Structure 1
Amino acid sequence: MSSSETQSLISLSLTNVEFDSSDPIAYAFAYITLSPLVILVVYPTIIVARREVASINMFIGQFSCEILNAVLKRWLKEKRPTDKLGDGYGMPSSHAQFIAYFTTFSILYLYIRITFDQNLWKFPIAFSLIILSITVSYSRIYLDYHTSKQVLVGNIFGVGFALIWFIITESILRSFGVFKLIVESPLAKFFYLRDSSYVPNIIKVEYMNWVALSSKQKKT
């Protein structure tokens, strides 16, 4: 292989995180900071398994938020704390913006659209999401991939975008019947898409349906 061919090769290392192996906190943060990648895998899994338009809507918003982050980075052109860690610009932190959007949208949907027999269960879920968001954001600072300002701005844009996206889609578009039109379309019916946002305690309803089907199968 010639030298010119060698120089044209690059490495795609999405999970590459550099840290001090002698620091147990850095070691833990190195895994925690990869949470957005895990969430990206969870998104299509939930969409395929559940076929809910709400999940698809949330994912589209997440992708749009990432596009906004890329545009902001190219516009602001602020460097990272050190050139040795991470590629590209650092303002705003994409990890912080990603997890802030995910957390904010999830909590809004949890409290506005989802019902349980005991809604007190919503608090530990929301609290866990907030802790995850704070931990992921702080990991970017601790590992020296971003400054505090870059992480703060990332959180501001993530939270702000989630609020705007939720209001536009879940409040305005839903009130105009857009989601209903989507699930009633031939394409949506072909892929078995559904909208369970108005079903009270959907988890219990689905469980009771399973119990009924299971009992029927046992009798046959």
Structure 2
Amino acid sequence: MSPNETRSLISLSLTNVEFDSSDPIAYAFAYITLSPLAILVAYTTTIIARREVVSINMFIGQLACEILNAVLKKWLKEKRPIDKLGDGYGMPSSHAQFIAYFTTFSILYLYTRITFSRNLWKFPITLSMIILLISVSYSRIHLNYHTSKQVLVGNIFGASFALIWFILTEYILRSFGMFKLIVESPLAKFFYLRDCSCIPNIIKIEYMNWEALSSKQKKK
């Protein structure tokens, strides 16, 4: 490349969100719309710290849902309401599809696999997740990154994919012993992978185990 030639450069700005600085609501939504990035960090942290196969399964489904979104955008080729905002096409909204998958899968797992001493705790958790879903989805409309239709379609595809993925993995593959086969493999044992979905009130049991070990340490 000669010294006189110029290169075409692009920027990688994962946290770059443009909004009207005079709009205080837009300022708040600029942070809310970054929630998928925080969720990705949570996925990584949870997988490393907990070693639960369900977290890995949910994350794989999330990635598959993102691939589906990219394919749909290439196929539909619908522009964003403002071309200069965001990269690529706008239909369906990847943020809306991401958060819809995350919320739907989480709620399904919450009500079918997790038990608390008081299951009333499930209601505020579910409500919080739905509020997050609505907030992230609306933020894409308010900030003019997507139209209402693009966000709605993203929500539909995300929720539908989560439902299909949940049934396929948590019911069909689990019934065939796939999860048991995974956790009993030498590789899974090497990385201490586990499947606690069949254990009721795992939080209480883990606390009791910690309490017992802590008492033994104190006696020493």
Q: Identify the TM-score tier after normalising by the shorter chain.
A: over 0.9
For residues 66 and 99 of structure 1, what CA distance do their matches in structure 2 show?
A: 11
Q: Secondary structure, in 3 states, of the residue corresponding to 1:54?
A: helix
Q: Using a 3 Å threshold, how does the CA distance of structure 1 residues 3 and 109 change in structure 2: closer, same or farther? A: farther
Q: Using a 3 Å threshold, how does the CA distance of structure 1 residues 72 and 30 change in structure 2: closer, same or farther? A: same
Q: Give the match for residue 182 of structure 2.
A: 182
Q: Secondary structure, in 3 states, of the residue corresponding to 2:5?
A: helix
Superposition map of 1:148-187 within 5 A:
148-187=148-187
Q: CA deviation at 1:8?
A: 2.3
Q: CA deviation at 1:4?
A: 3.4
Superposition map of 1:81-120 within 5 A:
81-120=81-120
Q: CA deviation at 1:10?
A: 1.3
For residues 15 and 3 of structure 2, what CA distance do their matches in structure 1 show?
A: 29
* AA matched with 1:160: S
For residues 42 and 80 of structure 1, what CA distance do their matches in structure 2 show?
A: 29
For residues 3 and 175 of structure 1, what CA distance do their matches in structure 2 show?
A: 64
Q: Give the match for residue 65 of structure 1.
A: 65
Q: CA deviation at 1:146?
A: 0.1
Q: Using a 3 Å threshold, how does the CA distance of structure 1 residues 76 and 18 change in structure 2: closer, same or farther? A: same
Q: Give the match for residue 28 of structure 1.
A: 28
* AA matched with 1:200: P
* AA matched with 1:139: S
* AA matched with 2:125: I
Alignment partner of 1:206 is 2:206:
yes
For residues 82 and 2 of structure 1, what CA distance do their matches in structure 2 show?
A: 36
Deviation per residue, 1:17-54 (Å, 9 max, x gap): 00011111000000000000110111010000000000
For residues 207 and 36 of structure 1, what CA distance do their matches in structure 2 show?
A: 30
For residues 118 and 70 of structure 2, what CA distance do their matches in structure 1 show?
A: 41
RMSD between aligned residues: 1.0
Q: Using a 3 Å threshold, how does the CA distance of structure 1 residues 89 and 3 change in structure 2: closer, same or farther? A: farther
* AA matched with 1:132: L
Q: Give the match for residue 16 of structure 2.
A: 16
Compute the TM-score of the two structures, normalised by the length of structure 2.
0.98
Compute the TM-score of the two structures, normalised by the length of structure 1.
0.98
Deviation per residue, 1:110-135 (Å, 9 max, x gap): 00000000001001001100000000
4+ aligned runs moved over 3 Å, structure 1 = 1-5
Note the residue ranges of structure 2 that are not aligned, 5 or more in a row.
none
For residues 67 and 139 of structure 1, what CA distance do their matches in structure 2 show?
A: 22
Q: Give the match for residue 77 of structure 1.
A: 77
For residues 56 and 83 of structure 1, what CA distance do their matches in structure 2 show?
A: 36
Q: CA deviation at 1:84?
A: 1.8
Deviation per residue, 1:81-124 (Å, 9 max, x gap): 01121110000000000000000000000000000000010010
Q: Secondary structure, in 3 states, of the residue corresponding to 1:28?
A: helix
For residues 154 and 3 of structure 2, what CA distance do their matches in structure 1 show?
A: 42
